[in-house]
Structure 1
Amino acid sequence: MLFYLLDIDDSAEGIILFGVTEEGKREKFVDSSYRPCFLVLPSNKEKAIEEIEKIIKDNSLPVTEITEETKIFYGEEKNFIKIYTKRHQDLQKVRDAIKVLEAKRGGSGSIIDEFEYQTSAYRMYLAEKGLSCLSWLDIEIRGNQVKSIKKANRASPKLKILAFDMEVLEVKRGNPSIVMISIFGEGLSKVITYQEAKYSINTIVVKDEKELIKNFIETIKDYDPDIIVGYNTDLYDMPILRERAKQLKVDIGILSRDNSGITLSKRARFTTARLIGRVHIDIFNFVFNILSPMLQSEQLTLKNVSQELLGDTKLDMEYEDILQAWDKGHEIDKLAKYCLKDSELVYELTKMLLPDIEELTRITGQSLFDTSRMPYSQLVEWYYIKKAKQQNRVIPNQPKFDEIKQRQQTTYEGGFVKEPEVGLHKGIAVVDFASLYPSIIATYNISIDTLNCSCCKDNGYKIPDFPYWFCKNRKGFESQAVEELLIKRLELKKQLKKLDPDSHEYLLLDTKQRALKTIINASYGYYAYPASRWYSKECAQAITALGRYWIKEVLKKASEKGFHAIYADTDSAFLRVNSKEAVEEFIKEINQNLPGLMRLDLEDFYVKGLFVPRQIGGVAKKRYALLDEKGRLKIRGLEVVRRDLCKFARATQQEILKICLIEEDIPKAFKYLDERVKALRQGNYDLKDLVVYEQLSKPVSEYKLISPHVVAAKRLLEKGIPVGEGSVIGYIIQKGSGSISERAYPIELADPSKIDIDYYIENQVLPTAMRILKVFENKGTLF
């Protein structure tokens, strides 16, 4: 039968597969074929087996079988001992018992190290089988047991997605309560609450909070979604829902398809909330981990993110407004609309972003739940693990804490930077290498197992300024893995050029190439990531050295052509040129001499560009604004160069930038700044424009350095307003004694008559405006 794998888990029975049949039925099956095992690298195989068997016997360890197997270990074939255990959780126990044989631990030295004992069962199952969630499988079933399984090709089924949002208030001091839940999906849009009012939207009014949660659970049961989505629900909504249900004695088991309810677990610094069999996606995780470098906003609130990505945003209601609406029983309909709008925005964001997450799930070969929460490093890691299993390679161990700390102390030279020439320039061509570092990895065969190989000492790929070379005779593991993705993406981009951009096929292929790009561009950083399984300072150094060599070559060739380099950074160069045609010819000549998969592109041609200085001497990297031929502005590093910037300061800077770059009326720009400062002094501003927003990345009690948003959060807690990890704190600075942090008040508790206007002028408006105007300071008046 055909079965679309939606989610996966492990149990005493085996690996549990949740999904959709060809007929559209939601089913779960058990695969008992998975056998937990780990690998031991011996220095003396016979002696190691003898000593291991004695330890197992003496300690009555739950080992079912010991075999021998040849595997590839960093490019070389090695003989390994394979130890099978009764249960997956026994792996660590058995490994801990036999590691005493290592010489470094004072043992006989018959074994060198152990591998593949740390990964969860279902993750290893997927890697070993070469499967992934969100794929069709051809499975043979007997009862509910899987007898055989293989991949199948078919278009993805339509999955049922449901978004939700909760409003939580501290109705009784120290006891946060859920007062409203909104739900939004295809054919379903409603709010559940327990306060009567004249509602203009579909609203179910129940008796109390207990009945509210029950109604929500019943809705989930009836709608039976495959995916439940929210925004910051891992850290906020799910833990609160779980705790309130427990206190009110409401069974929420049905939220999961195995009736386990909400399973909370800690991953690094963050909590995750899992609904087994029914996938919970916190869309904030994907925005934070993957999208944030590409977004203009640094405050990744639902309001900001939906505004930027959807062109839509939350309804305007502050926490104090919500509290008053609930307490006084007025504007409850407005609150219901506010709550429902949040669910609608989450649903629309999910529709936009889910295709990318689904493609990343297939590339990494893991579950949708896990992939949606992976940062760049884990996406690369799981892609490598999948490839390692396909090639019979050993997966390297995660580094220990001390090793990570040691790696964190290691530094090396990064990309080449030619500091920009401050001022206004005209006729700028920006050229850049397509995926510079990944293409270097593929072209120069950069891998741990090809580094300084014995066969290519005199004729390998030599690295400028380093005693490194890479093999020319056999392809390295990481190099091959990255090259595969690069070639796939190039093929997809060729196909895209032949398709109508509005066609369904175009959208599908574009999603695939974006997902490939995400992992491709993270491959270099993974070498330098301290917690990487495939960490290599030498490989990272080699890549950046070659990157520096090639960008310098481009600058040298550009100079020979009569182009003037205004600025260069890592993989791109900003050239003042005579014509676009001359640049295109220049790029063509460069590409004829580039090796392998390396390629130089014309990013765009710009009519004008403004490059600004640092605050204190020198100039700044990636702080510029460009105006293209269609009159569009491309801005980097100017509007949000500091985290503690209010909207008033950012808007001032943006307007000054437009006046200077587009109108080239510098006196007007100075006059505008003067007007903005006067407006502040005269009180002509909206208080909300002075609010600074920052997010709490951990519980308030865990902060050692007390910054303004932490002080503001503490003041909220003192007033009984619930905030915690993940909460976005909006604050203003008031007059008074003490540091800026000590004078930070949450907007909910701010006193408009005590706003420290001098702080905003001296620390927010003037510094940001003068980053631009300093270029023209001899043409206006400085404050």
Structure 2
Amino acid sequence: MTETIEFVLLDSSYEILGKEPVVILWGITLDGKRVVLLDHRFRPYFYALIARGYEDMVEEIAASIRRLSVVKSPIIDAKPLDKRYFGRPRKAVKITTMIPESVRHYREAVKKIEGVEDSLEADIRFAMRYLIDKRLYPFTVYRIPVEDAGRNPGFRVDRVYKVAGDPEPLADITRIDLPPMRLVAFDIEVYSRRGSPNPARDPVIIVSLRDSEGKERLIEAEGHDDRRVLREFVEYVRAFDPDIIVGYNSNHFDWPYLMERARRLGIKLDVTRRVGAEPTTSVYGHVSVQGRLNVDLYDYAEEMPEIKMKTLEEVAEYLGVMKKSERVIIEWWRIPEYWDDEKKRQLLERYALDDVRATYGLAEKMLPFAIQLSTVTGVPLDQVGAMGVGFRLEWYLMRAAYDMNELVPNRVERRGESYKGAVVLKPLKGVHENVVVLDFSSMYPSIMIKYNVGPDTIVDDPSECPKYGGCYVAPEVGHRFRRSPPGFFKTVLENLLKLRRQVKEKMKEFPPDSPEYRLYDERQKALKVLANASYGYMGWSHARWYCKRCAEAVTAWGRNLILTAIEYARKLGLKVIYGDTDSLFVVYDKEKVEKLIEFVEKELGFEIKIDKIYKKVFFTEAKKRYVGLLEDGRIDIVGFEAVRGDWCELAKEVQEKAAEIVLNTGNVDKAISYIREVIKQLREGKVPITKLIIWKTLSKRIEEYEHDAPHVMAARRMKEAGYEVSPGDKVGYVIVKGSGSVSSRAYPYFMVDPSTIDVNYYIDHQIVPAALRILSYFGVTEKQLKAAATVQRSLFDFFASKK
């Protein structure tokens, strides 16, 4: 008997049952029941693109394709169709078979048939193919006809249904209606006295948990036996039954460690909603937990360039979740010491709880954006964070291509090609007052829309331009793009920006402090991220719709646009301080700035708005490097080298504080006094070693390095001590006293007695240089920073000396 249910889609997967594929949809009904929907009707397919000149033979080619059919997975159909490929009409054959894995075999065989130019869309994963074709998006409400599948012991859900018809969305993408979901954060602590933890030998001594009901729990080992830990973890997950599981670096450490540890101990890590299934590492490197959405919050922290160190405690402090000063911090190599000492174990337990509280707090900050990103791209939540922004946009484009009857190009391995980038002016160095930053709204997407840029709109022969109503010609590079009809990218971007405007309008219906407002804000941010990725995507060598000439043309138009705006600003008498890609810094004259905005919008046809106003802003001679004092008193620091990996945390702190003092007080001498106090604290051994660690990533195996850089030497010493060190690992080291090169004195920070730190190295090569990048402009010297105060100076003196 058929009935209709309303549910929110969480995830999709598929299995082969009998000799047919079955799509599995995991979801929650609006009344809070966890459900599985099984669709037996969908079949895998791909396309054969018919070569030019063979269009009249498409039926014969389809017959040849049918003759390739094998019993294991027969070709059900080979149907000729009219499609579009890079915007142009093409003939194709849609080849449908039974088993998804067989598509690979048929793809290669079909390509060998005369008249077939290529096989397309054979690499789109079956479960995602289903979501695209059925226009299903995660975290969206659907009404769907179903039949009760009865009790199914294979799934840990409230009900199992068989899909009886296609889903119908209950709302458009500007609506957000979600039932409450169960969330759990987890973190593990591992006991290892012999270097890097090894799941073959080292036990999991604590699993810490915090759930959406506010409950916290520690599951602890019995001495060094972690069998109970793993079993109780499995029991906990199955009992609480979370929809979303979050961790921090869990895809690369916690889950793989638990999975391997469970295998070693012969324990089934049966924490999924599919009975008997265990977590597996899947595409994009994420760990798949069937029926649950496993989210690694580290993926989102990685996308925050303003945070130098991506440790849990650093990110939690930066986002206002938990201050480092208010939590327990224990270095990982000291965990055995705290575990084995009954007096110290309580502190280790507090540390484990602080870790999971910080993880849960980050989830509250990051998940709203992640969920909206999943909804907008159509990619399930557990995958969307693990993939790069190019892949996110690509899945969005693939859905658009399906709706527009466009064939999706294959991914081709190619070498990256460089091209001229954006305009970045050399700044007027010094301190400037009352500076406004003007920002071109979505400059590159707007250029792509205005000039119809895309791989399908390029016109190679100028004589063909008249039939397209003319061509747009990119300045400098001369690439031509037809004026009409609209190309694939223009259509997609117009829809994307229109959708964003609709969402922003929807936001206005709610107070800024309401949950609805915040959710819509996260959605419009997700849409903005996709739109802004479109230009870079075309120049990305892995892109299906790769087009170097398109990317080259967009940057050429971008350069022309900002230089034209700069020229007009100067004609108006505005002092231009700096320009970078899509931003202009000018001394704020309200009337003249309004005229500039009017010129850009009416004459040039682009939107530009005031982004921020600095009371004071300081530029060095370098591009992309400045410090500004905003109207609300906040300090805005961009691009100073103390964020580099070969500077310690103290150097960054000193540089930021010096800039803050100078801009806030106007007193240079106060900044000098601050630096001297830091140097004094350093000499007296009062600075924690954690602030002196220099972090650098190993880009290759230790043996492959020809020169012994400091981080390489530190890595060698780690390896000699029994620690595993691999390419991609971040090595934290400090410089100790002694003779010889800096490299020869670089040691892993956890192998060093703080009293052996070479204080003079940090003063001469970290603290003073970091401070002087700002203070030297005001006439401050290295000698002054290390000596007693001699003269009081302010910014007033600095300005006076420049007259």
- TM-score, normalised relative to structure 2: 0.87
Give the residue type in structure 2 aligned to 1:224.
D
Q: Secondary structure at the match of 1:489?
A: helix
Distance 1:162 1:430 in 2: 42
Once the two structures are superposed, residues 113-157 of structure 1 have per-residue CA deviations (whole angstroms, 9 ceiling, x without a partner) of 110011110111111111122222222223242121213326211
Distance 2:446 2:322 in 1: 38
Partner of 2:38: 30
Partner of 2:252: 235
Distance 1:761 1:274 in 2: 48
Partner of 1:628: 630
Correspondence 1:270-419 to 2 at 5 A: 271-288=285-302, 291-293=303-305, 296-313=306-323, 314-400=327-413, 404-405=414-415, 408=416, 410-419=417-426
Partner of 1:735: 737
Matched, 1:537 2:548: yes
Aligned pair partner of 1:555 in 540, 545, 566 = 566
Check whether the contact 2:433–2:587 (CA below 8 A) recurs between aligned residues: yes
Check whether the contact 2:734–2:748 (CA below 8 A) recurs between aligned residues: yes
Q: Secondary structure at the match of 1:592?
A: helix
- Structure 1 window deviating more from structure 2 (129-138 vs 758-767): it is 758-767
Check whether the contact 1:666–1:779 (CA below 8 A) recurs between aligned residues: no
Distance 2:533 2:680 in 1: 47
Partner of 1:18: 26
Check whether the contact 2:618–2:628 (CA below 8 A) recurs between aligned residues: yes
Flag the 1:740–1:394 CA change in 2: closer, same or farther, 3 A: farther
Distance 1:385 1:706 in 2: 46
Aligned pair partner of 1:193 in 220, 226, 229 = 220
Distance 1:275 1:700 in 2: 34
Check whether the contact 1:706–1:741 (CA below 8 A) recurs between aligned residues: yes
Shift of 1:452: 1.9
- Structure 1 window deviating more from structure 2 (448-457 vs 272-281): it is 448-457
Check whether the contact 1:180–1:193 (CA below 8 A) recurs between aligned residues: yes
- Computed over aligned residues only, the root mean square deviation of the Cα atoms, in angstroms, reads 2.7
Flag the 1:54–1:764 CA change in 2: closer, same or farther, 3 A: same
Give the residue type in structure 2 aligned to 1:251.
K
- Structure 1 window deviating more from structure 2 (694-703 vs 77-86): it is 694-703
Flag the 1:285–1:565 CA change in 2: closer, same or farther, 3 A: same
Give the residue type in structure 2 aligned to 1:245.
A
Shift of 1:286: 2.4
- Structure 1 window deviating more from structure 2 (462-471 vs 700-709): it is 700-709
Partner of 1:104: none
Distance 1:327 1:707 in 2: 37
Distance 1:698 1:16 in 2: 41
Aligned pair partner of 1:68 in 72, 80, 84 = 80
Matched, 1:645 2:647: yes
Distance 1:356 1:534 in 2: 26
Check whether the contact 1:162–1:184 (CA below 8 A) recurs between aligned residues: yes
Q: Secondary structure at the match of 1:117?
A: coil
Q: Secondary structure at the match of 1:417?
A: coil
Partner of 2:209: 183
Distance 2:745 2:683 in 1: 19
Partner of 2:279: 262
Matched, 1:514 2:541: no
Give the residue type in structure 2 aligned to 1:570.
T
Correspondence 1:417-496 to 2 at 5 A: 417-452=424-459, 454-456=464-466, 459-496=470-507
Matched, 1:6 2:17: no
Give the residue type in structure 2 aligned to 1:138.
R
Distance 1:171 1:680 in 2: 31
Partner of 2:611: 603
Check whether the contact 2:62–2:93 (CA below 8 A) recurs between aligned residues: no
Q: Secondary structure at the match of 1:651?
A: helix
Give the residue type in structure 2 aligned to 1:287.
A
Check whether the contact 2:39–2:163 (CA below 8 A) recurs between aligned residues: yes
Partner of 2:96: 84
- Structure 1 window deviating more from structure 2 (484-493 vs 599-608): it is 484-493
Correspondence 1:671-750 to 2 at 5 A: 672-677=674-679, 679-681=681-683, 683-694=685-696, 708-709=710-711, 711-713=713-715, 715-716=717-718, 718-720=720-722, 729-736=731-738, 740-750=742-752
Distance 1:148 1:195 in 2: 52
- Structure 1 window deviating more from structure 2 (700-709 vs 547-556): it is 700-709
Flag the 1:458–1:80 CA change in 2: closer, same or farther, 3 A: closer
Distance 1:231 1:393 in 2: 39
Flag the 1:180–1:485 CA change in 2: closer, same or farther, 3 A: same
Shift of 1:491: 3.4
Q: Secondary structure at the match of 1:14?
A: strand
Give the residue type in structure 1 aligned to 2:192.
E
Flag the 1:228–1:778 CA change in 2: closer, same or farther, 3 A: closer
Aligned pair partner of 1:584 in 594, 598, 622 = 594
Aligned pair partner of 2:262 in 239, 245, 252 = 245
Distance 1:58 1:18 in 2: 35
Distance 1:682 1:546 in 2: 57
- Structure 1 window deviating more from structure 2 (39-48 vs 558-567): it is 39-48
Check whether the contact 2:8–2:29 (CA below 8 A) recurs between aligned residues: yes
Flag the 1:781–1:760 CA change in 2: closer, same or farther, 3 A: closer
Check whether the contact 2:321–2:358 (CA below 8 A) recurs between aligned residues: no
Flag the 1:307–1:756 CA change in 2: closer, same or farther, 3 A: same
Shift of 1:350: 1.3
Shift of 1:387: 0.4
Correspondence 1:118-133 to 2 at 5 A: 118-133=123-138
Check whether the contact 1:418–1:568 (CA below 8 A) recurs between aligned residues: yes
Once the two structures are superposed, residues 181-228 of structure 1 have per-residue CA deviations (whole angstroms, 9 ceiling, x without a partner) of 0110123211011358xxxxxxxxxx9310111111111111011111
Check whether the contact 1:180–1:191 (CA below 8 A) recurs between aligned residues: yes
Distance 1:263 1:416 in 2: 46
Once the two structures are superposed, residues 734-783 of structure 1 have per-residue CA deviations (whole angstroms, 9 ceiling, x without a partner) of 23466544533222211223322333233212221221123223788567
Flag the 1:54–1:76 CA change in 2: closer, same or farther, 3 A: closer
- Structure 1 window deviating more from structure 2 (700-709 vs 228-237): it is 700-709
Partner of 1:199: none
Check whether the contact 1:183–1:189 (CA below 8 A) recurs between aligned residues: yes
Q: Secondary structure at the match of 2:598?
A: helix
Flag the 1:692–1:256 CA change in 2: closer, same or farther, 3 A: farther
Distance 1:14 1:222 in 2: 27
Shift of 1:708: 4.2
Flag structure 2 segments of 5+ consecutive residues without an equivalent. Answer: 150-160, 172-176, 786-803
Partner of 2:791: none
Aligned pair partner of 1:139 in 141, 144, 159 = 144
Distance 2:724 2:424 in 1: 46
Partner of 2:181: 159
Give the residue type in structure 2 aligned to 1:425.
H
Flag the 1:485–1:51 CA change in 2: closer, same or farther, 3 A: closer
Partner of 1:201: none
